[in-house]
Every structure is written in C-alpha cells, then in structure tokens.
Amino acid sequence: MDIEPFMLRAVLTALFLGPLCGFIGVFVTARRMSFFSDTVAHAALAGVALGFWLGLPDPTVPMILFSLVIAGLILWLKERTALLNDTIMALLLSGSVALGMVILSLLKGYRGELDRYLFGDILSVGWGDAALALVVLITVGSVLFWKLNALALLTAHSDLAHVSGVPVRWLNYGFVALLTVTVALSIRLLGIILVTSLVVIPPAAARNLARSLRQQILLSLFLGLIGASGGVILSYPLNLPSGPCITLTLAGLFVLSLLGSRLQRAHQNAS
Amino acid sequence: MDIAFRSQKSAAVEVQDLHVRLGGNPVLRGVNLRIEAGRMVALIGPNGSGKTTLLRCLLGLQKPDSGSVRLLQEGPPGPGILKRMGYVPQRLQLDPSFMLTVREFLAIRRPLTASWFWRPSRQIDALLHEAVGEMDVTRLLDRPVAGLSGGQLQRVLICSSLLNEPELLLLDEPTAGVDTPGEADFYELIAEVHRRRGLTVVLVSHDLSMVYRHASRVYALNGVICCEGAPEEVMNAESLRQAYGIHFTPYQHQHPHSHGSHGH
C-alpha cells in the first residue's frame, strides 16, 4: 500500500508525541496543571502570529519560544505577586490570544492560516517537525524517567521532596519547560484549542484501569500512542482536521476505560 | 539502649535567638531551644504561635531573619544533615487521580530503589522489609496512597521516613487526621520506635493530652519559648496561660489511665 509522504510525517509525529504527552500528562493531571497546559498552548497563537510578522516560513520556533516566555511569566507572577494561579493564567491566556489575533488581522493573507493552528492540520507537519518530535520524545522522555522519583515525590508533597534532597524549585522550572515544549510542538497535530486533550485524557483513562503508578504511566503512554496515531489516520479518509479526530478518539478510549473499570469491579465483586 | 547517656552528651537541636518575620509581622521573636539527643519531646503552642514557622526553619524551608539553627551537632539544615533526618508532614497533597501505591511511595523514598519502575514487587518488598514490618504496613502495600485513612497514612509516612535510618525525626501535628481511638495507639507506636531506635523525636502539636503522656520534655511556644520542662511542670495553669493566652482551657489528662467507655 502506498502511503502519502504527508501522512507518513503526520503519523510518525503522532507516534512520537502521543506517548510523550500521555507520560507527562500523568504528572500534569496529578499536579492540577491542566489549565497551565491550556494557557501555554493558547500563548502559542501569539508566537505563530509573531513568526508570520517576522516573515518566517515556519513559525515552530517562535511558537515554542513565546509559549516558554508565557510559562516563565506565569511562574514569575506566581512568586512575585499575591495574584491567584487561575487569575494569572486567565490573564495571560486571553492576553496572548488577543495579541495573536491583532497581529494576524494586521497581516494580509494569513487569516486562512488560523484554522490549521486552532484545530490542527496534518498537511502542515513537515519532516523538520517529525524530526523535532523524535528529538523531544527522546530528551523529554529520558529526563522524565531519570527524575521519576523526584517528580513523584514533588507531586505527593513539595516540602517532603525538599527534605528528601529534591531541588524542588529547579525541578518545578524544568518540568514546566518540558511540558511547554511538548505542548507547543503537539499543536501542529491537535491545534491550540484541543492540544490539552492529549495531555489530560490518556492519564485520566489510564487511572480508571490502573492499580499502581507504574501501570498508570505505561497505560497512559499506550493510550496516548493509540489516540494520537488513530486520530491522525482517521482524519485523512474523513477529510476532517486532525485535532478533533484525535480528541474524539481519545474520548472514545476514555469511555472504554470507564466500561473496563466497571467490568473490573464487577469481576472483583463476583470473585 | 544508652538513651540517657546520649542525652547528656549532645544536643540534636540547638536554636539560638531565632527571629522570623512573615509579611511584616514578627512570628518568632528570639527563640532559644536545646533538645537533647535521644529524647522524645513535644513542641506545643496555639494556632499562630509560630510552631509551623519554627518547624520550617528546622527543615531549612524558611530562612530566619537572624539567629542560628544547629542540627545533629553539625550545622544549619543542608542537604547533608537533611539526609540524617526524617520528616512526617500532616498530610500529603496527593490527588486521587495519581495512582501511587504505598509500595511505590516507599520505593521512591529509598535511594537504593531508584530503578523500582522495572523491578518486580517482591524485590521491592525485600528491600523495604524491615521498616514495613516495624510499622505494620504490609497489608497496605498495594493500596493507593491517596485512598488511605488518616491513621494509615501516618503509619506509611513514618515508615517512609525510617527508611533512611534517621537520627532525628520531626512530626508535624501527627494525629491531625487520626480518629480519637487511633491516637493512643499511634503515640504508642511512635514511643516504641523511639525506644527501639534511640532516635530523637520532636512532636509538633497543639494536642496536649497525648503529649503529656508520651513526651519526656515539653516546650511551649508563643513567639518565644515561654516555658519548658517535664510535662507535669509545663502543664500547670500559669505556664499554659502564658503560652495559650488567658482564655485557654487545657484539655489534658491529670492522671495516667487508659481510655474506657466513659470518654473525655
């Protein structure tokens, strides 16, 4: 069977980013950082617009950089002001989207680009994106495994982590940077609006079936892989944007996990 | 066990003229404290007395404005000294969406089990065997930490802090989430660990009744250490009035007895 090159690039990118989002998502959901993930994703819109404004053919770099700036700003405001987390993130999310829209409105001929960044487009995934996704999978995945104990302890109790010798502040900054890069890169596939679904749904579905953190991480990796690649493959024959297809595939997997968990419980009660 | 001998020889905790201001308000106003090694002591005080701030200073989580903290005869709390200490917080911040089991929680706290992720459970259990048996948490190993009751969690937290063979154990409001019948058992368990291991135990608490029964020395804090001594000395009305303010009515046992059906 012949496979179109653009499809191959998109499926490979999904195979790289799906499990990574599933892995990092276990800690994002447990640390209640879903809204953070959503904020840095929306910040990417301003990065994309800035990239076009600067005349760059590929806005991936400004997209990632602008998301990192907003992530840093969230941490800075959290430490330096009395503002609540939610307030800071809502402020930066709406501010970034507004800035992005204003820049795109001022530029002629880029309004059409908006949809592919909002909802994902497999046609926009280049070989460079696929290679970058592989590099990010290897580096971010390795760091997450290397720092697994420290991250799990930080999730359980930050003071306890500090007393156990974990450099809490640096680990927190590092985690935020890894999450931001992973999310910003996944925007190509899922779009700004839906990208958080790949970070949140796999760990939530895995939690329904898992009995330990080890199982939850492995299942979440697997569900991220199936959801992302399955969604991309479905989007081609259905002629739909890849973002909604991935999100609906993940939602379907979540429903299946709920049914699985019911069956598990019924089986336990019977035995 | 030469607890008495050790206690005459050295101090596990030495705090001198410690001052801390938080948000412009003086919370600690010249705290002086010396806890002898090998003792089980209590640091008591009402809400807002600076207990938590002092505990954070001992753990290196709060930098004092002035004064000094010296732990285990070595120096201020730093990475080297913290390795020789155990800390038991009131509760964890765990979300139920995080499926960390008790076995995994203990494994991540034990430096040797860095590769727990790929090890079979029985290998991890073998490494944890001693502390798990001592705190009687074997049957909890497969349970998610987020689903434990207050009393079970405290056992697991103490068990995890014993994995490093600490010389100094700090417990923050250890019975905050424990039901009343469980409290007595819990303090008995800590006392047993203290006797067996000969380590220094510092209980930070506003609960006077159990402290009275188990601590060998009590320090009452209210911005400064306003009184210290044997429990029966500190628990007299005048000392407590200084620590807790004039309207405080202490809830305490005046005589040693076990809990019966009459309640308190």
Rounded Cα–Cα distance for residues A62 and A44 (Å): 8
Length of chain B: 264
Query: With an 8 Å Cβ cutoff, is B93 touching chain A?
Result: yes
- Give the range among A53-62, B2-11, B17-26, B128-137 with minimum mean pLDDT: B2-11
Domains and CATH numbers, chain B: 1-84+200-247 (3.40.50.300)
Domain ranges of chain A: 5-265
- The pLDDT of residue B208 is 73
Beta bridge partner(s), residue B36: B11
- The pLDDT of residue A206 is 97
pLDDT mean across residues, chain B: 81
Closest chain B residue to A146, measured at CA: B114
- Cα dist from B219 to A20, A198, B44, B115, B171, whole Å: 51, 53, 6, 42, 14
Assess whether pLDDT exceeds 60 at residue B131.
yes
- The pLDDT of residue B243 is 61
Contact B105, B156 (CB under 8 A): yes
Contact A230, A249 (CB under 8 A): yes
Query: With an 8 Å Cβ cutoff, is A209 touching chain B?
Result: no
- Predicted structure pTM score: 0.87
Beta bridge partner(s), residue B66: B19
- The pLDDT of residue B235 is 72
Rounded Cα–Cα distance for residues A9 and A118 (Å): 20
Query: With an 8 Å Cβ cutoff, is A183 touching chain B?
Result: no
How many Å is the maximal CA-CA distance in chain B?
A: 59
Per-residue pLDDT tens listing for chain A (271 residues) = 578 888 899 999 999 999 999 999 999 999 999 999 999 999 999 999 999 899 888 888 999 999 999 999 999 999 999 999 999 999 999 999 999 999 988 887 777 778 888 888 887 888 988 999 999 999 999 999 999 999 999 999 999 999 888 999 999 999 999 999 999 999 988 999 999 999 999 999 999 999 999 999 999 999 999 999 999 999 989 988 889 999 999 999 999 999 999 998 888 888 7
Scan for tokens 């991935």, then name that residue.
Answer: A246
Output DSSP code: residue B102: H
Phi/psi of residue B142, each to 5°? -90, -5
Which band of pLDDT confidence, cut at 50, 70 and 90, is reported for residue B210? low
Query: With an 8 Å Cβ cutoff, is B148 touching chain A?
Result: no
Domain spanning A5-265: CATH superfamily = ABC transporter involved in vitamin B12 uptake, BtuC (1.10.3470.10)
Do A145 and B60 lie within an 8 Å CB cutoff? no
Assess whether pLDDT exceeds 80 at residue B164.
yes
Closest CB to A213 among B82, B92, B100: B100
Cβ contacts of residue A256 below 8 Å, gap of 6+? A205
Summarize pLDDT for B67-112 with one digit per residue, the tens.
999 999 888 998 889 889 999 988 887 888 899 999 999 998 876 4
Summarize pLDDT for A72-96 with one digit per residue, the tens.
999 999 999 999 999 999 999 999 9
Contact B97, A31 (CB under 8 A): no
Helical spans, DSSP H, in chain A: 5-30, 34-53, 60-80, 85-106, 113-119, 127-146, 148-156, 158-163, 168-190, 196-209, 213-238, 242-270
Residues of A in contact with B125 (CB under 8 A): none
